Amino acid sequence: MPQERPAPLDNRNARKLFLHRHLLGTPPKGTGKGADLTGLIQDLGFVQVDSVNTLARAHDMILFARRPTYRTGNLAPLLERDRDLFEHWTHDAAILPMAFLPHLRHRFGRDAERLRARWPRWQGDAFLGELRNVQDHVTRHGEVCSGDLKSTPAAKSTGWWDWHPSKAALEYLWRSGVLAISRRQGFRKYYDLAERVYEHPAECPDLKESLDWLNAAALDRLGFATSGEIAAFWDIATADEARNWCQAELGENRLTEAEITGADGRPRRVFLRPGTIETIASLADPPGRIRVLSPFDPVLRDRNRAERLFGFHYRIEIFVPAPKRRYGYYVFPLLEGDCLVGRIDMKANRETGALVVTRVWPEPAIRFGAGRIARLCAELDRVARFAGLDYVTWAPDWLVT
C-alpha cells in the first residue's frame, strides 16, 4: 500500500503558526508581572539567560518583546520570593516555571553523568575533590556565591571560562540538582541547597511519563518540529528517545506529518498535532509593528531553523575579527509582521541617557522607506523607555544600503 503523502504547509502559513506559538503573532498586551508573567513563561516553556548587556539582558528583551509593560524588576519576586520560577538549564541557562520541575528533574542525573565525563578534560579534575567541601559549607552556612569560596585558581588556561575548583564544584552541584540558584545580585549567582529553594519538592515521575510530557510540551510550543527539534527544546530527551516517541505517537494517530515549504522553496517533513493546519486560517496575521528581538529569542535559538523558515541567516559574530565582520558583534534582529526585515546595532549610553543607534542593515530586497523608518522609530522609543533611557540618537550613516 503506497504511503500517504504528508499534508502540505506553505511557508507563509508556517511562519504565522510559528510566531503565534511563540507569542509574537498578536499585538503585545498584558501586565508583564505577577501571574501574567509566570503564565507567559509557561507558554514559552522557558526564557534563556545570558550575561551580555549592551542594552538589557537577554531574558528581559525576550519578555519585553511580548509585554511592553514588562520592566526588569518584575521578574525577581517570582524567582526569589514567590518561587513560581527557577533557574536551571535547557540548551543553556534559562528561567523555567517551578510547575515544570518534576519532569525536569530527570536532567539532574543525566547532567551529573555527562559533566563527570566532560569537565575533567575542560576544567581539570580538582573540582571533584571540592564537591563534598562545598556542599558541607552550603549546608552549614547557607547560600554562597563563587567569590565566597574562591581558593586555588584554575591550573591552566582554558579560555574565557576558567573557573577555580570551588566555582566548578558549585556549578556541578547546581547542574546535578544538589544546589539551586536562590537569587542573583546583579548578574552574580547565589547558590543554596535545592530543598531550601525548591520549597515544595515534588517526586520525579517515571522516565516514560516525563518523556511523554517533555516531548509533547516541546511540540505544543513549537507548533511543528522534527524529532531532533523536539529533543533539542528542553535538551533532556535524547535524539533516539524523541524519535521513538514521535513514531509511537504517529502510530496512535496523536501525531501527523506535514511537508513545510522553506523560505528557499525546499520542502521539509515535520511532525504536528492532527488538526493543526486547519486552525491556521483562524489565526490573525502577525501585527505589522516592528519589534526588536533579543539574539536569544526563542524564534531564533535554532539558527538553522530560522534560516529555513524565514530566510534569515543569523550568527553572533563573536569570534570574527572586527575588520572582517559584516555586522556588529551583537546585533538585534528586527521583526515586522511575519518577516525578519533587518538587524540593528545599538547600545545604551548610561552617562548621557541615550539609546545610540550605530547601524541598521536591511535584509535583501527590504527597503527602509519613510513608513518603515517611522515604525522603527516608534519601537526604539519604546525600547529606550524600557531600558531607562531618555532619547534615541542616530549615527550619520546609520542605514546601510
Count of structural domains within the chain: 2
- More reliable by pLDDT, 366 or 150: 366
Cell numbers representing residue 172 in the block: 556541578
Task: Give the model's pLDDT for residue 155.
Answer: 46
H-only helix segments in 263-395: 276-279, 303-310, 370-386
> Which residue among 182, 198, 214 closes a domain?
198
135-173 residue pLDDT tens: 999 999 999 998 888 654 444 444 334 567 888 889 889
Task: Give the model's pLDDT for residue 141.
Answer: 93
Q: Does residue 66 sit within a domain?
A: no
Report how far apart the first and last C-alpha atoms of the chain are (Å, whole number).
55
List the domain range (segments joined by +) for residue 358. Answer: 290-394
| Cell 518603515 sits on residue | 372
Q: What is residue 270's three-state secondary structure?
A: strand
Q: Does residue 158 sit within a domain?
A: yes
Whether the Cβ atoms of residue 86 and residue 181 lie closer than 8 Å to each other = yes
> Which residue among 198, 233, 263 closes a domain?
198
Q: Does residue 52 sit within a domain?
A: no
Q: In what helix (H) or strand (E) does residue 35 lie, and over which residues does it extend? A: helix 34-44
Task: Give the model's pLDDT for residue 217.
Answer: 98
Task: Give the model's pLDDT for residue 122.
Answer: 58
Task: Give the model's pLDDT for residue 167.
Answer: 85
- More reliable by pLDDT, 115 or 9: 9
Q: Does residue 256 sit within a domain?
A: no
- Asked if pLDDT for residue 50 goes beyond 80, the answer is yes
Collect all residues with Cβ–Cβ distance below 8 Å to 345 and sequence separation of at least 6. Answer: 327, 328, 330, 331, 332, 357, 358, 359, 360
Q: 0.85 cut: is pTM over it?
A: yes
> Which residue among 198, 231, 251 closes a domain?
198
Q: What is the CATH number of the domain that holds 184?
A: 1.10.10
User: Helix 165-175 crosses helix 126-141 at what angle (to 10 degrees)?
Assistant: 70
Q: What is the CATH number of the domain that holds 338?
A: 3.40.630
Q: Does residue 190 sit within a domain?
A: yes
Q: Does residue 247 sit within a domain?
A: no
- Asked if pLDDT for residue 257 goes beyond 80, the answer is yes
Dihedral pair phi/psi, residue 284, rounded to 5°: -70, 150
If we measure between CA atoms, which residue out of 360, 334, 363 comes closest to residue 345?
Answer: 360
Q: Does residue 159 sit within a domain?
A: yes
- More reliable by pLDDT, 126 or 182: 182
Instruction: Residue 317: count other Cβ atoms within 10 Å of its Cβ.
Output: 15
Cell numbers representing residue 109 in the block: 542525573
Q: Does residue 272 sit within a domain?
A: no
If we measure between CA atoms, which residue out of 117, 174, 142 comes closest to residue 166?
Answer: 174
